[in-house]
Amino acid sequence: MSIVCSLPAGWLLDHLSFINKSGYQLSHSQDSSGWVSSNDAFSAASTDADVTGTTNLDIASSSRKYPVSEMKALGKEASQKTYVFREELFNVLKPHISVLQTELQQRICEANLENDGSVPHEKAKNEESQVFTIKAKKKRKRSSELNHGERDALEYHLKISGVILDGTKSLVQEALRSGFLWSASRQQFHAKTLVAGHHDCSLAELCEMAKQFHPVNEDEQRTQCRINAGGCLPQVQLSYVTENTTNYAKIITLMGEKYLFPPKSAFLLSDVSVMQPLLDYKKKFGIIVIDPPWENKSVKRSNRYSYLSHWQIKQIPVPALAAPDCLVVTWVTNRQKHLRFVKNELYPYWSVHGVVEWFWVKITRSGEFVFPLDSFHKKPYEVLILGRVQGSTDRPLRISEDIVLPAIPDQKLIVSVPCTLHSHKPPLADVLKEYAKPEVNCLELFARNLQPGWTSWGNEVLKFQHIDYFTALQDKTD
C-alpha cells in the first residue's frame, strides 16, 4: 500500500514505498532467462553504431548474442539481487523558491485582478519594483497587467486554494504524528547523492527508428508476447504487447541500456501512430489513467519534448479500450485552456460523465509546499480530472446484489513528496481501486514507468525503469 494516511480531505502517499513493494527481485532460478541480446530493439537489433549515427539498419545480421557461459554468469549474478529505487530521488528537503518573492508577486496579481485589467494602481507598481530588487539576476520586467490566460488561472487558483491549504494541513499534521514526515526543526540532512549518469538510449527516437523497419506480415503478426516462468525474454517489438506473467522482475536490454520489468505487468513501447497492438490486445480496462504531452510555451521553446494538439488527443481510442463504467483519470497542467478542453470537449467526446477534479499536492519531507501556494509562475499542485465512461456519479452504481460502486467524490487531495525526476507521477492504484470494480484491468497511457497489475503504453514507457534509478541489494541467502 502506498497510503500513509487517509482523511476526508484525501490521502497522503508514500511513492517510494510503493515502488519498492512492487517486487523488483529476480528469480533465484533465473540464469540466461533474465537477459537478452545487447542490441535487441524490436524485430531486429541495432548496434551501438546505429544509435550514434548510422541510419542503415542491417536487419538480418546486426544481432550479437552473449556466449552461453557469459549469459549464465550474468544470470547467476542477477539472481542474487533485489533492486530498490534510489531514496535520494525523493529527498525534497526544502521549498524551491523564496516565500517573500512569491508573496510580493501574488499581491501584484490580486491588485491587477481588482483593477479588472486596467492600468495598475500605484501600490501594484511599488510592489512590483520590490519583487525585481530581490532577484539575484536582472531579468526583463514582465508587464504588471495580466493577460486573459493569467487572469483565468488566478481566478481558478483563488477558488481552490482554500481547499488545498486546509486539506494539506490536516494530512501533513497526521503524517507528522505518525513519524512519516518530520518538522523542519528535526530535519534530517541527507547527503545528496547524484544518480550515476547513463547513456540515454532515447526511447522516443527508438520508436521513430522502428517505423523504418519492414512491416510484420500476417504470418508473423501476434497480439502479445508472454514471459512465463523459466521462459526467455523476447526481443521487444512495437507489433505486440509484452507481458511479464511471473512473480519476479526481469531485465530488458535495449540498445545496451538495461531496464527493470516488474512482475505481473505489461507494456507496449510505441507512439500514437502505432496503437493498434493495444486495441488487438483484446482487453477492456476498468481504470484508464492518461498523462498527455500538453502543449505549452516552454515545450515549444526547448524542442526537447513532443506534444499533441487537442485534436490529436481526442483521437486516442479511449472508448474502444474502456470497459463499462470505466474510471478515466486525466492529468492536466494548470493552464485553464487545457482544463476547459478536458471537461467541456474531450470527456463529452469520449462519453465520460460525472466529471470531478482532484489535486496532487507536492510537499517537502517536512510537510511544506514545494512551491509557495500563491507562487505566480509555479504552483505546488497539479490537477486530475476524473469521470466514468457511460456512467453517472449522481447515484451509486450497483454492480451486483453485494457490491456497490461509490460515486467519485469531488476535490479530493493526493499529497506526496514528489520524485525529483521530471514528470514522475505518484501511484494512483491504491486510491482509485475504491471507485472501480473489483479485479479490473488497469491501463496507463503516455506512461513513463511500469506497475504490477497494470498495462502501460507510451513512447517512453520504460524511461523510469532504467536500472540506473535503482540500487542493487545483495540477497541474504548468498
What angle do helix axes 122-133 and 99-114 make, rounded to 10 degrees? 160
pLDDT at 295: 84
> 230: pLDDT confidence band, cut at 50, 70 and 90?
low
Contact, 450 vs 261, CB < 8 A?
yes
> 63: pLDDT confidence band, cut at 50, 70 and 90?
very low
pLDDT at 62: 32
> 228: pLDDT confidence band, cut at 50, 70 and 90?
low
Q: In the chain, what percentage of residues exceed pLDDT 70?
A: 63
pLDDT at 227: 67
Q: Provide mean pLDDT across the span 27-53.
A: 39
How far is 274 from 414, CA to CA, in rounded Å? 33
How far is 265 from 22, CA to CA, in rounded Å? 10
Q: Provide mean pLDDT across the span 255-281.
A: 90
How far is 281 from 88, CA to CA, in rounded Å? 37
Cα distances from 287 to residues 163, 249, 266, 441, in angstroms, run 26, 24, 15, 7
For residue 142, is pLDDT > 70? no
Closest to 45 measured CA to CA, from 71, 75, 72, 66:
66
Closest to 290 measured CA to CA, from 205, 386, 361:
386
pLDDT at 422: 87
For residue 432, is pLDDT > 60? yes
Question: What backbone torsions phi and psi does residue 242 show, to the nearest 5 degrees?
Answer: -100, 130
Q: What is the pLDDT of residues 182-223, one digit of tens each?
A: 876 655 544 454 554 444 567 777 777 666 664 555 444 555
Closest to 446 measured CA to CA, from 199, 223, 268, 222:
268
For residue 36, is pLDDT > 50? no
Select the more confidently predicted residue: 56 or 471.
Answer: 471
How far is 252 from 467, CA to CA, in rounded Å? 10
Cα distances from 299 to residues 295, 303, 306, 307, in angstroms, run 7, 6, 8, 8
For residue 271, is pLDDT > 80? yes
Q: Which residue has the cell 479530493?
A: 412
For residue 245, is pLDDT > 50? yes
What angle do helix axes 148-178 and 99-114 make, rounded to 10 degrees? 140
Contact, 456 vs 444, CB < 8 A?
yes
For residue 88, is pLDDT > 60? yes
For residue 395, is pLDDT > 80? no
Contact, 234 vs 253, CB < 8 A?
no
Select the more confidently predicted residue: 199 or 44.
Answer: 199
Q: What is the pLDDT of residues 287-319, one digit of tens each?
A: 999 999 998 765 555 555 578 999 999 999 999
Q: CB under 8 Å to 141, separation ≥6 — which residues?
A: 128, 132
> 90: pLDDT confidence band, cut at 50, 70 and 90?
very high
